[in-house]
Structure 1
């Protein structure tokens, strides 16, 4: 059972917040894809940064190696209470990200569910460590990744016709990240996003994911998932065409190309031998290819 939402009177309780901020050690430099880049207009950039900072804090809570599942859920509930109601809470930098995003949503009119949906996903991460099917994984991405695209589109006042392509792109990026970090997630968090029905079909075990190199059966699973990602990337190609804002159109085009480059790298490189990353050349090529969408 998940912990109930904390009342206003309990939000100062150290059992909810702990003694200090929780950080997973991740940083913007670890991201494959630009978040709040210079392509976003200067006027909107602070709102994107507020969203990113909040998302990073709640992600760090869910990925903490020291908090218990109950402690994670309590903290996530507390962050949601501060975000949605701007209630009193400890004056700390992690809590302040929720207050700042609350103010951003009030100012811009962007809906709160673009952030609370992320909390749904991270509560799930606190208690769920295995996924049976690809459909189950895609449903997780609905909450863990797709809201980021919804936030950017709503912030830029884009129409609902952009949502399907955005969802395809965000789901693609999320599953790509799962493939990149499959070994690390298992070692640090005992979390595996590789669908267990595929593992059973190809007779792959957890030990295969912990190995120093990808076995032939595990490579077949990776390729099955990458085939699915190829289809998502194809659908995502519509996003730049449908996006009215020129800056966001260019940014979305860059990210679509980066997703394609990373998909190809994961086909030819081994994520168990080391984290597969985009190269500077990939970024440059993606940027140059995208300028045709800026017109």
Structure 2
């Protein structure tokens, strides 16, 4: 094993974001107290590798070097140095060994973040779905494994996680392009509708770009419909409530993105949406 500071570099990649900055609950009170520390270990690791991929202080090759080092720590191939990013991988390793959740739920995320680091271009909707397979779907599969639920929940969980990822891309499409030179809007959709990436920086949504957004939201609606079956596959009552609430929030945000302009300002969930999610959670209690 090696333990060299040069692999990790000195640049601080922390975004300063935390669980409170997310659209959807992270390790909420609906998750049992016994499992919450494991959820937070997974979230902390995911936040670190996301911050590495999104860092404006690192070159693409340096990002990939750090991501590879995180994977080596996670798999026990490298001793972690005494730094929060390396320690997050070591903490998750201990958690996964204790809970027997597959390591793929953590290593698959790195596939997507390496693509982000390289500046991958998404030509089609299928390209975007493939990205979400690694950037988002492992999160749901991790929680399903942690709760020892059936693999029958994977399909609706994957649909929900992909929906949430695409909704986030739509919320942040202007900022992603401006700050990170990154675009998750499928190029072929923009071409068919007579628009381009440049229009994402216009400050308001053109009719052509609105057609692109609506086409993507049609796909998200289909994903949300699949995701609606998730709660029925979950035995743990508290986790079932959590799933039902998040599915409802996905529906709420999809409707908001149809009505509001994500290029004029961030389209966010409102208090009323939280109330709808709470009602959905209560219905799932039975």
Shorter-chain TM range is over 0.9
Shift of 1:87: 2.7
Alignment partners' CA distance in 1, 2:27 and 2:5: 34
Find the residue that maps to 1:177 and give its secondary structure: helix
* Number of equivalences: 286
Note if 1:89 corresponds to 2:80: yes
Shift of 1:66: 1.2
Shift of 1:251: 0.2
Alignment partners' CA distance in 2, 1:118 and 1:165: 19
TM-score (norm 1): 0.95
2:63 to 35, 53, 72: 72
How well do the aligned residues superpose, as a CA RMSD in angstroms? Answer: 1.0
Note if 1:119 corresponds to 2:110: yes
Note if 1:148 corresponds to 2:139: yes
Note if 1:255 corresponds to 2:249: no
Partner of 2:260: 269
Alignment partners' CA distance in 1, 2:118 and 2:258: 31
Partner of 1:243: 234
Shift of 1:86: 5.8
1:176 to 167, 173, 191: 167
Note if 1:166 corresponds to 2:157: yes
Shift of 1:57: 0.3
Structure 2: runs of 5+ lacking an equivalent:
none
Partner of 1:12: 4
Residue pair 2:80, 2:90 contacting (<8 A) in 1 also: no
Partner of 1:217: 208
2:126 to 118, 126, 135: 135
What do residues 129-153 of structure 1 show as CA deviations (whole Å, max 9, x unaligned)? 4210000000000000000000000
Alignment partners' CA distance in 1, 2:221 and 2:122: 21
Residue pair 2:96, 2:103 contacting (<8 A) in 1 also: yes
What do residues 150-189 of structure 1 show as CA deviations (whole Å, max 9, x unaligned)? 0000000001110000000000000000000000000000
Residue pair 1:181, 1:275 contacting (<8 A) in 2 also: yes
Structure 1: runs of 5+ lacking an equivalent:
1-7
Shift of 1:31: 0.6
Note if 1:63 corresponds to 2:54: yes
Partner of 1:206: 197
Shift of 1:20: 4.7
Alignment partners' CA distance in 2, 1:266 and 1:175: 11
TM-score (norm 2): 0.98
Shift of 1:21: 3.7
Alignment partners' CA distance in 1, 2:95 and 2:11: 25
Find the residue that maps to 1:85 and give its secondary structure: coil
1:100 to 82, 91, 99: 91
Residue pair 1:12, 1:89 contacting (<8 A) in 2 also: no
Residue pair 2:11, 2:57 contacting (<8 A) in 1 also: no
Find the residue that maps to 1:103 and give its secondary structure: helix
Residue pair 2:11, 2:58 contacting (<8 A) in 1 also: no
Partner of 2:270: 279
